[in-house]
Amino acid sequence: MTSMLKILLKNGTGRYATRLYPAEAREPFAKNRADLSFDPGCCRLCKTCSRKCPTGAIEVDKENRTWKRDVFSCVFCGDCIEACPKSCLSFVARPPLPQKHHQQAVVYATVPERSKK
């Protein structure tokens, strides 16, 4: 009984065993694949990223000039980054924001028209 009391007092008066996320965010590890970043300014809408995505998380619509990624389907493998001929995709070290609903977890981007020279 006394050993149990020691454990209870130690756990009750000591520090927390885990971080108080999101108040205390941990620094990301080196080479962390935290989130996928897309630069719509350099995209040609060639659909190479959507063809290379093993889960089908990326959809490109040339007609409406939109690029869409489903955050719940993406496994952050990096195949789309390697396949993009213009390097519009990259990993960034910030963690993705938590989402409750699937509609909030879809990232939309409108690709601007390019001026014809």
Domain spans, the chain: 29-110
β-bridge mates for residue 89, sequence order: 38
> pLDDT tens digits, residue range 27-79?
777 777 778 888 988 899 999 999 999 999 999 999 988 898 888 888 889 99
Q: Are 36 and 76 in contact (CB under 8 A)?
A: yes
Which CATH code of 3.30.390.10, 3.30.70.3270, 3.40.50.720, 3.10.20.740 fits the domain covering 29-110? 3.30.70.3270
**What is the token pair recorded at 20?**
């108080």
What is the C-alpha to C-alpha distance for residues 39 and 89, in angstroms, rounded to an integer? Answer: 7
The model's pTM is: 0.66
